[in-house]
Structures are given as structure tokens and as C-alpha cells.
Amino acid sequence: MYSLARLVSVVSRSTFRAEGHVFAVTPERVGIAEGVRAALAMAPLLVAATLLARPEIALGAVAAFWNCLCDPQGSKAARLKAMVNFTVMGVVVLTIASWGANWGESWGENWGGNRGYTARLAILFALVFLCGLTRSYKAALGPMPAQAGFIASLAVVIGVASARPLTGALELGGYFLLGSVWTMLFCVFLVPIPFRQSGNLTLAAIFGRLESMAAFVNTLESNPQADSWQTFDLVHRRGVRMSIERGRALAALDTCNGLRLGAYIDASGRIFSALIAIGQTRRNASAAASEPSRRLLQALQRLLLAAGNLPLLDGPLPDTLVAQARTLLHEAASQDDAIARCVKFAANAVVRLSTPDAVPAAGSGQIPVGPAPAARGIDVQVWRHAFRVALAAVVAFAIGTWLNVTLAYWGALAAIIVTQPVAANTWLRILERACGSIVGGLIAAALLATLPGPGAMTLAILPLAALAIACRLVSYGFFVVFLCPMFMLISDFIHPTGGLIAARFINEVIGACVGVAASFLLWPGRHDDVLNAALQAAISANMNFASAALRMDSASIPDLDRLQREAGMASTRLETARERLLLEGRWRSAGLERLREVIVSLRVVCGTAAVVEVLRDAEPRTEDRQRADACDATTAQLLHTLATRTPLQTPLPTSKAADDDLGEAVHQLTDALNHYVTLPA
């Protein structure tokens, strides 16, 4: 565990630039144990198919794999609910699709013409559409477990491609049910994997990125116009914030170590605030940092590096780490500049973790926070995307069969997978899938050329399945590298055929083209509305944190932490919305370039507010409350400026004194927004 934590900590520092994208890489979510468990769950079904010479039994192994994809992290009850939902949906739609496709063929033979083929396409559309209605498209913090409706729609395609009479269709459904029930029993009850490893790796990633951020801020010089400051504002802060919020999401699911993990996440959030404050202090400094300040920052780096290399959830906070934090606290207390006070703030966050009752004991448990009540009815985005995906699947399947492509249903599978609610995400998914399929296709070609028989094929499928499950939450591209050869081998195992590599390539091209067309032609959405909504939310969140930092007292730390998190996430969503438009070909837009300046200004406002919070020694003064009121009034004017696209000519006074960095940051934001609204998007 120690070596794995160190590896994740190192890799995570190199992947933070991908945060907020479809192609995000989250090394802390590697699931080696989960991968091995999935392979063991699939093994009995593949062995039975080999020994009994009944390749169709391997469909149960596919069901086992898909159940592992749908298995969410959380309590047994939550996991069982998700897997049972998928099992019921999968068995029903697979059986209906298989029997319905056979019925369509028989009906077509009796009545002549292409009616049977049309009936198959209608069944494919209807079932994929119904599966799509069960899905949701909430914003995620990176790769997440597959939704039951999404995987069930893939089962529909398999069923349509495996037309059988009612008895045969029930047999296929039975194998699917057998594999699913066995997987639930094996994974949930017989081989439960403790959550602690995921929590340890999450903390390793967070502290590794904090160490990288501390190292970067130590190299920054006091030049606000330097490109390195934009890297600090738009890359480092986003990367750390996203990893912290993923940790909070994980803590909410863990019923055994959630409270313990949450305590460490809270401490990392306080350290993050201190690093933001240090960066903002360096930005506004008139001279280079002093040598004692640099030594303090280097000592903070070493502390964060040590924390990132330890499995923190396995026991009490190590004495060596506590001693290191206390030494740093003592060194920072002996100095009285702004950087020293920020370092003291960060070191205190670690020292507090060693106090009694600060960190709950392992296994202390927590009451899971239940999900918010679901709104009645189906959101318009859900049914629109369900229609979009169902039509894409039908068109891709029709093109493949019309061209007489081998295994034409692969094109329908590809179309379902790549078609995303946001058009830019479809491009990214296609790119990742293409890169992963190229590497995976080479692996498959080598295996298909060398494997002597079904037994050897089974032995090759299992490690590929283990690696695919292990990478499912790390990166979609890595996942496809192992998924592609695994399913090509399973397809050849169930229905031996030649030309699999060429068939894979042709079907992937068909699915990609259809997916892009569906995303851009069917309800592509008004991007300007999405962008303006994200900008409005970012302005409100960051300005609310700024006014709260001025107004709230030392007893309001939890509220300030929450407001700062909301500000950081709102800025990240705005950055992601902007970059999606750039990926769609609008990279020459002057408005998007000016929007980048607005985003930087928002980060500066949040940073200067963090300085106010971290460095405050006394309760808010009357002057501070007046400045907070001015910030609130300015927020209303900024939102009005955005809504009317008219520049704010007379910004409210926010104390633009030489020593008021927050007031200066608000004025910079006002100027940046004025420039943005006067240009076309």
C-alpha cells in the first residue's frame, strides 16, 4: 500500500491539467483489487462455456463484467440496488430484443418485403430509447461507474443481433441472469473489498497535488502579468479543487471510514486555502520572497510530500509527520510576514489532526447522506438524449447491415457509447475511443494470431477484464485499451469469425460518424446560454465568498469553507464550458479570449478573499462590513451588466486603496467583464 500510494501521488501531479474534461485521468481511482475480483467472477462462466462446449454461456460472463461496471462504491444496500436494477433491466431487454428480432424476421418472411428488417430496427429504437429514459446526466467530478440504463442499452443491441425464438431468447436471458446473480453474490457478499484503499489513494493524490502547488508557488515572482500566474490560477487551483471534491464525494459514500476520510479532506481544504493566500500574497508583493520565506515554503513542501506518501487511513497520524508539522509551526511562528502566517495556518491544519477526537477511529462509521428526492417526471434533456442515442443506434446498425459489414451491431454499440449530450464531449469520447481502440486492436490482433484454442482464449480474457475494471474510473482511454481486445476475444469465442480487426475499424468509423451527426444535428443546444449561465454562477459564487470573508467572524469557518468550495467549483465549470467551445472550433473567438481574462480575475478575487480569511487576526470591523456590503452591491451590478451586455460605467466604490487588494481585484474583474460584454461571443 505504501508503494502504491507513492506511485499515485507522483502520477497525480502530472495529470492535474486534464481535470474537468472527458479525458481526465484520475490515478487515485485505480481499482486493482476490484479488477481481480471481476476476473474471478467471470472465470467460472467462461470455464463452463469451454468445458461444456456451449459458447453462449459466455454471455453470463459478459453480464458479470457489466455488473462490475455498474457497481458503485458505497454501502451493500446501495451496491445491491444498482446491480439489481441493471440485472432486471438487462434480462428483460435482452430477452425481448432477441425474441422480438426473431419475430420480426418471421413476420417479414410471412408478409414479404423488408418488413421484418424494419421491425428489428423499430425494436432496437424502442428499447434503447426506454433504457435512455432511466439515465441522468448530472455533472461529474471525473469518470464514474456506468449507469444501468446505459449498459442495458448495450444489451439491447446484443439481443437484436442474436435473434432467437422465445425459448432461445429465454435461454439467453437465463445465462445473463445467472451471471448477474452470481456476480452480486460474489462481489457484494463473498469478496467485499474494504473502502480504505480508495480513501488512502485519494488522500495520496490530494496531498501530492498540494505539494506540487506549493513547489510551483515557490517559483513565482511578483509579476501579475506573467503566464506562470495563469498556470497557477487556471491549472493548479482547478486540479487541487477537483481532487478535493472527489474526495468529499468518496467520503459521503464510505459508511466505514467516511468520517475519518472527511477529517483529512477538511484539513487538505484548509491547506489549499493557505496556498491560495500565499500565491495571492506573492502576486501583490513588490519584491522577491525573502530567503526565510522560501525556506518555510520548502519545509511545507516536504510536509505535504510526506503526507502524500503515507496510507493515512490505516492508523493514527504517524508521529514523524506530527513532529514535522510541529517543527514547521514553530518556525513559522518565529516570523511575522504574510507568507509565514499562511504557512502557520497550513501547518496548524495538520497538527490538529493529531489532537484527540479530531479524526474518528477507523471503522467508526457514519450515517450516509441520502440522495435528494428525485423530481417527478423526466427532464427534457433526458428524453432528448434518449431519442438522440436511440436514433444513432438504429442508423449505425442500418448502415452496417446495408454495407454488409461483419458484426454490424458493433457500429450500433459504438454509436451508443460515443454519443454525448454535449457535442464537444462526443468529439473527445471519439478521440479517446479511437486511441484506445488502436492500441487495443493491436493487442487483439496479436492474441488472435497466437492463441491456440478456447482454453487459451479464456486465460487471455480474464487478465484483460481485470485490467479494464481496474482502469474504469482512471481514464476512459486506458479502459478502452483493455476493453477492446477483451470483447473481441469474447466475440470470437461465442461466434468465431474472420476479419475481426477490419470489422472493428469499420464499425468504429460508422459509430463515430453517426454519433457526431446525432450530437450536432439533434438539439445541439445554445452554447451561449450555457456559457452565460456558467459565468453568472461563477460571478455570484466568487463575489459571495469575497463578501463573506469580509463579513464573517472566526466562528464561521465551516461556512467560509463551503463558500470557497462553491466559488472554486463554479470557476472550474466556467473554464470547462469555455474549453468545450474551443474544442468545437471556436478557438479564434475574441469573446472567448476575453472570457479567459474574466476567469483569471474571478480566481484573483477568490484568492484575495482567501488572504483575508487566512490572515485575519481580529473580528470583522465596521469598515470590513461596509466593504462587504459594497461587494454585494457590485455583484448585483456585474450580473446586470452580463444580462444586458452593457458595460458598467460607474462601478461602486469597493475601497480601491493601496492596501486593499480585494477592492483592487473586484475592480479588475469589473474591467475584464466590461471588455467581455462589448465583444461577440
Q: How far apart are CA 640 and CA 134, in angstroms?
A: 38
Please give the model's pTM, rounded to 2 decimal places. 0.84
Residue 102 scores a pLDDT above 50: yes
* Of 173, 144, 149, residue with least CA distance to 22: 144
Please give the grid coordinates belonging to residue 249: 464525494
Amino acid at 43: A
- Of 23-32, 121-130, 178-187, 647-656, minimum mean pLDDT range: 647-656
Q: How far is CA 484 from CA 167, 278, 473, 480, 490, in A?
A: 31, 46, 16, 6, 10
8 Å CB contact between 135 and 150: yes
Question: Where residue 469 falls among pLDDT bands split at 50, 70, 90?
Answer: very high
Q: What are phi and psi of 632, to 5 degrees?
A: -60, -45
Give the pLDDT band of residue 652 (cuts 50, 70, 90). Answer: low
Alpha carbon 675 to its chain's center? 33
C-alpha distances in Å from residue 541, one per residue of 92, 165, 537, 545, 628: 45, 59, 6, 6, 14
The predicted model gives 264-291 an average pLDDT of 86
Q: Where are the domains of the chain?
A: 30-193+404-521, 196-352, 527-677
The pLDDT, as a whole number, for residue 153 is 96
Percent of the chain with pLDDT over 90: 43
Give the mean pLDDT of 308-326: 89
Q: What is the pLDDT of residue 364?
A: 55
What gap in Å lies between CA 228 and CA 221, rounded to an integer? 9
pLDDT digits (tens, 9 = 90+) for 291-307: 888 999 999 999 999 99
Residue 242 clears pLDDT 80, i.e. is over it: yes
For the record, the C-alpha cell of 405 comes out as 459489414
The answer to whether the beta carbons of residues 590 and 640 sit under 8 Å apart is no
Write the CB contacts of 640 (distance below 8 Å, at least 6 apart in sequence): 648
Looking at residue 369, its pLDDT comes to 46
- Mean of the pLDDT values across residues 208-228? 79
Residues 6+ apart with CB under 8 A from 174: none
Give yes or no for residue 560 having a pLDDT over 60.
Answer: yes
The grid cell for 287 is 519584491
The yes-or-no verdict on residue 224 having pLDDT over 50 is yes
pLDDT at 314 over 80: yes
Provide the 10 A C-beta neighbour count for residue 656.
Answer: 11
CB 603 within 8 A of CB 275: no
Give the pLDDT of residue 231.
Answer: 81
pLDDT category of residue 351 using cuts at 50, 70 and 90: very high
- How far is residue 445's CA from residue 436's CA, in Å, rounded to a whole number? 14
Specify whether the CB–CB gap between 411 and 405 falls below 8 A. Answer: yes
Q: Residue 156's closest CA among 138, 172, 139, 136?
A: 172
pLDDT grade for 476, boundaries at 50, 70 and 90: confident
CA atoms within 13 A on the CB side of 80: 8
